[in-house]
Structure 1
């Protein structure tokens, strides 16, 4: 705009200047300069057009990238919104998460005191007390989640377990959430990896790689066991009195019963003998090893160390005073 005003002032001053006849040489000089200036102007216009075209061509890939990225960004943003509405995971969470009922949409109780987690958000079915190194107590686990089904359905769930006593850490579970079930908006059926040790464990749950919740659970000490046999009794539950339990022994065709010997450590004079009766032959689900189940009772009348023998194999267990 300023340039146009300067040009108008210049033309007005030229008009006001006194007229004088130019010589033929002067006229040719002026016309030659005008043609040269006009040619430069045309070249500048062409250069500008070339730059404009180059910019247009360069902008096309950028626009195409944006068209592909925007839907993905929007999808991630919408899921992040869902996660951000929930309180963030606290790494200092140490209190055991509560157990509660699984309730249908109509308010009826489907399973009583079966779920452990965060009511109305996410929980898993704790069918049995979880025992370290045991696949039996972490098999056929149900995850239940509540929220927007369109965001929960097909969400990738990852649960990392941290032992709050020792700092030990491992991947407990990976699942894909599916359709609504039993009053929950999404669910998954899965098996956890066995917990390697006893203690208080925190499950840090991620959905689609976003922090979602933390669930703190108790894990009992491993089962009383020898090399090829195990009693389905945690070492934490070895107390004085009578313990009715199952005995799992590797192998088939082991007969109708098996003898178990137990006595206070280094005092074989007080040996007790127990008969466990066969309950059937099976194939162990996690490793396909053939096993036979037996049922019977163990009895410990005094606290302290006890030695237990099954088919010639020995183990030591610390027995506590029963309540």
Structure 2
């Protein structure tokens, strides 16, 4: 067996976790080229050629293996860590005069916390928001504002823009406005600008999208539901002919753990389109934290966690 054949055999016997097929092939090609150059120009004795080849092999293995790991680690870090926000986390507090709960930065800016959480892709909870500003009224009232948002995955969106109105209560300016939906779940940083100058910013968490099917969508997030006792659940649909629907709850293994008949008990209007929507209400028991699937009137949602 030639030296090069021995090296190729050694490469093929490497652990499957060390180098992939393509990397091994590149090393063999480079060794073949190196060996040809040595034979033609240097006429090194066979024993030294073998030693030299193994030295090159070791360097190439280290470069391919550790270089690959370093690249993957960087990609994994970027995927899981994303942007490291330096802004403060939004604080929940109660306004002293109106007793309303808000989220934001005391003495600067805050959102009326009507629904407790924002939900990705949801238009309902951002259809009508109240934002309060504190500061010098002369530098706020009648001035232009803009609210930008960026996620840890580097998604950027302008949520709202317009002009600030005068105070309603103890704040110094306010605006009643509509946000664009957050496109994805996770941590987002909200930046509030007045006359194009950064006024304040804070972070908040956006929940995963509501479980939905083709014709139905939940009105509460599973992460907001009770564990170990029945939760009252509302399901929204545009189907007005249905008076009741069957709903089944499947666990991660596909076993039905609860089921109920949901009855139509209200009609509202879509805040963004004005279309009629029908609300079905019922109760389900999420007995523990797990991955679940709902079957609503014969239609399946994607799996979700509570």
Q: Output the TM-score relative to the length of structure 2.
A: 0.66
1:173 aligned residue (155, 160, 183): 160
Q: Structure 1 residues 314, 154: closer, same or farther in 2, change over 3 A?
A: same
Give deviations 1:140-177, integer Å, cap 9, x for gaps: 211111222222111111011011x2111111111310
Is 1:100 the counterpart of 2:100 in the alignment?
Answer: no
Which position in structure 1 is the counterpart of 2:173? 186
Give deviations 1:118-155, integer Å, cap 9, x for gaps: 21122221211111111222232111112222221111
Paired with 1:119 and 1:305, the residues of 2 have a C-alpha distance of 37
Which position in structure 1 is the counterpart of 2:147? 159
- Cα distance, 1:292 vs structure 2: 0.4
- Cα distance, 1:273 vs structure 2: 2.3
Which position in structure 2 is the counterpart of 1:258? 245
Which position in structure 2 is the counterpart of 1:312? 298
The count of aligned residue pairs is 221
- Cα distance, 1:284 vs structure 2: 0.9
Q: CA RMSD in A?
A: 2.2
- Cα distance, 1:310 vs structure 2: 1.3
Which position in structure 1 is the counterpart of 2:202? 215
1:226 aligned residue (179, 198, 213): 213
- Cα distance, 1:223 vs structure 2: 1.0
- Cα distance, 1:297 vs structure 2: 1.0
1:144 aligned residue (121, 127, 132): 132
Matched-pair contact (CA < 8 Å) for 2:293–2:304: no
Matched-pair contact (CA < 8 Å) for 1:157–1:206: yes
- Cα distance, 1:301 vs structure 2: 3.5
Matched-pair contact (CA < 8 Å) for 2:165–2:173: yes
Gaps (5+ residues) in structure 2? Answer: 1-83
Q: Which moved more, 1:231-240 or 1:123-132?
A: 231-240
Paired with 1:150 and 1:317, the residues of 2 have a C-alpha distance of 51
Is 1:297 the counterpart of 2:288 in the alignment?
Answer: no
Matched-pair contact (CA < 8 Å) for 1:261–1:309: yes
Q: Output the TM-score relative to the length of structure 1.
A: 0.63
Q: Structure 1 residues 100, 302: closer, same or farther in 2, change over 3 A?
A: closer
Paired with 2:221 and 2:166, the residues of 1 have a C-alpha distance of 36
